[in-house]
């Protein structure tokens, strides 16, 4: 935490190469609601809208042949929580924020460490990175609030806002890069080893969750408010594990589990998962019937299992089972294996 508020403001001005006429706007942008009632929330509201409009203008002018659906996806990718949070990490903005919330410091600290690991693993070269910890919204809020402070300070001049802040968002996601190397790299890697790749997508509330299966084994997960970013996050997670993590054997042997001894007997998995969530102070796992097939005497069931941790929301899918209890245990077993890998 930068206690010297003059220095905190000066750091932002040096970063932006912009001198505020009303520094009180900047101090408001750097104040969390846990510290004072006069927080960045009003500015964050304006910044969210202003950045959305600024990117709409930019993308409209630079993509004359692209339709509205793709333009919306590009805008969402450029101002997503994941991307803006990484902007805050890259420019070391969180220490400038006045706050009084130790739990927030813990969550942000975990995310910052995960982003640093992405950079070490060369996974941070695009805006989304990999996802081990969900991007804390407060980091994106800081960026939006600072942008709004500039916007209000220059009398709502959108062109000036874009000129001052555009560099923060580089590299800007374009139609050419929105689905670039991660997905194609994964397909090429698996094709080389004769393995198939499948993506399974789930909608949980306002969050899209994507699972990546290679040779039938779950090797990657990712989540985001936007499907395209969730897929990229899941793909990067899969690549990091296949190339250097605990799932390398999937490419060579097709063995997707290998943690069965630690997970335990199938019939015990649901209870073990519930107990683990309780120990970790996570919400109770959610078991949901996803598919029921066959006649009464030959019916099969598929269950999904959702677990919410500090690192995000994870969903696994059970094998087809002839009993509900077995399907729940199968889904729980896959979840336990994933949590062990994490």
pLDDT in tens, 15-63: 999 999 999 999 999 999 999 888 999 999 999 999 999 999 999 999 9
SS3 24: helix
Q: How confident is the model at residue 298 (pLDDT cuts 50, 70, 90)?
A: confident
- 271: tokens are 């209870």
Range of 26-40, 213-227, 291-305 with top mean pLDDT: 26-40
Characterize the bridge pairing of strands 312-317 and 197-204: unpaired
Distance separating alpha carbons of residues 315 and 220, to the nearest angstrom: 11
Q: Supply the pLDDT for residue 186.
A: 82
Pick the CATH number of 282-340 from 3.40.50.300, 3.40.50.410, 3.90.850.10, 3.30.160.20: 3.30.160.20
By C-alpha distance, which of 94, 33, 106 is closest to 281?
106
- 59: tokens are 């993308």
The domain at 195-240 falls in which architecture?
2-Layer Sandwich (3.30)
Residue 140 has pLDDT above 90, yes or no: yes
Residue extents of the structural domains in the chain: 5-179, 195-240, 282-340
Q: What number is the average pLDDT over the span 65-80?
A: 86
Q: Supply the pLDDT for residue 124.
A: 44
Question: Please, what CATH class does the domain formed by 5-179 belong to?
Answer: mainly alpha
**In sequence order, which ranges of 154-292 are alpha helices (DSSP H)?**
158-165, 181-192, 227-244, 249-253, 260-263, 269-279
Residue 259 has pLDDT above 60, yes or no: no
Distance of CA 301 to the CA centre of its chain: 30
Bridge partners for 321 per DSSP: 301
Map tokens 């950079």 to a residue.
119
Bridge partners for 192 per DSSP: none
Q: What are the backbone dihedrals phi and psi of residue 256, each rounded to the nearest 5 degrees, phi first?
A: -95, -5
Burial group, residue 111, by CB count within 10 angstroms (0-12, 13-18, 19+): buried
Query: Do 5-179 and 282-340 share a fold?
Result: no
CA gyration radius, the chain: 22
């Amino acid at each position: 935490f930068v206690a010297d508020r003059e220095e905190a403001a000066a750091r932002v001005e040096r970063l932006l190469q912009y001198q505020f006429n009303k520094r009180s706007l900047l101090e408001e942008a750097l104040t969390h609601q846990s510290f004072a009632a006069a927080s960045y929330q009003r500015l964050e509201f304006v910044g969210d809208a202003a950045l959305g409009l600024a990117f709409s203008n930019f993308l409209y002018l630079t993509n004359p042949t692209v339709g509205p659906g793709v333009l919306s996806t590009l805008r969402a990718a450029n101002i997503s929580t994941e991307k803006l949070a990484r902007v805050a990490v890259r420019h070391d903005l969180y220490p400038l924020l006045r706050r009084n919330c130790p739990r927030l410091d813990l969550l942000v600290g975990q995310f910052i460490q995960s982003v640093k690991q992405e950079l070490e693993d060369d996974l941070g070269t695009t805006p989304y990175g990999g996802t081990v910890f969900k991007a804390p919204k407060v980091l994106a809020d800081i960026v939006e609030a600072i942008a709004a402070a500039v916007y209000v300070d220059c009398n709502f001049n959108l062109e000036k806002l874009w000129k001052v802040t555009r560099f923060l968002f580089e590299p800007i996601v374009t139609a050419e890069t929105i689905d670039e190397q991660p997905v194609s790299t994964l397909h090429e890697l698996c094709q080389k080893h004769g393995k198939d790749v499948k993506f399974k997508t789930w909608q949980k509330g306002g969050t899209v969750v994507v699972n990546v299966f290679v040779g039938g084994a779950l090797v990657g997960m990712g989540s985001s408010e936007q499907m395209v970013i969730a897929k990229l996050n899941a793909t990067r997670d899969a690549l990091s594990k296949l190339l250097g993590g605990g799932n390398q054997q999937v490419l060579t042997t097709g063995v997707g589990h290998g943690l069965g001894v630690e997970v335990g007997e199938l019939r015990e998995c649901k209870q073990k998962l519930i107990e683990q969530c309780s120990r970790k102070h996570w919400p109770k796992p959610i078991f949901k019937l996803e598919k029921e097939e066959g006649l009464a005497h030959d019916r099969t069931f598929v269950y999904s299992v959702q677990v919410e941790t500090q690192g995000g929301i994870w969903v696994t899918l059970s094998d087809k089972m002839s009993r509900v209890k077995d399907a729940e245990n199968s889904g729980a077993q896959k979840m336990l294996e994933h949590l062990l890998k994490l």
